[in-house]
């Protein structure tokens, strides 16, 4: 079965989930591909997830943290910069 999803202008809302490594990775990946600023709360700070943050910073994404809240300034799907060096994901693959 095929289902086509229609494009929407924007999505606004809040979703609360427990701190989780997989969700924390995905939050950085997806908000980096979004246009504009996204807020991530309850981000799991661990070696793997911080590696993901650093890799996306090397791709030109501004990611800041203040009082446990992560702000990601996404550049859209095609807005990433070419990195100056190899992107080392460590054990975060």
pLDDT above 70 (res 93): no
Closest-CA residue to 61 (of 77, 47, 72, 46): 72
pLDDT at 74 over 90: yes
Domain map of the chain by residue range? Answer: 21-75
Q: Is the pLDDT of residue 57 over 90?
A: yes
The tokens describing 62, both together, are 């501004």
User: Is 0.75 topped by the overall pTM?
Assistant: yes
Percent of the chain past pLDDT 90, that is, above it, reads 70
Distances (CA, A) of 58 to 55, 80, 81, 82, 84: 5, 9, 8, 8, 8
Angle at which helices 47-58 and 21-33 pack, to 10 degrees?
Answer: 10
Token pair of 57 as six digits: 């910073």
Three-state DSSP at 22 gives helix
Q: What is the band of 37 on the pLDDT scale with cuts at 50, 70, 90?
A: very high
For residue 7, what pLDDT is reported? Answer: 80
Average pLDDT of the segment spanning 9-19:
79
């Amino acid at each position: 079965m095929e289902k086509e999803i229609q494009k929407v202008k924007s999505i606004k809302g809040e979703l609360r989930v427990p701190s989780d490594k997989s969700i924390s990775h995905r939050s950085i990946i997806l908000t980096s591909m979004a246009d504009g600023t996204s807020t991530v709360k309850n981000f799991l700070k661990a070696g793997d997830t911080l590696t993901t943050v650093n890799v996306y910073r090397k791709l030109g994404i501004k990611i800041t943290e203040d009082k446990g809240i992560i702000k990601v300034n996404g550049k859209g799907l095609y807005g990433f910069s070419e990195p100056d060096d190899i992107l080392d994901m460590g054990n975060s693959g």
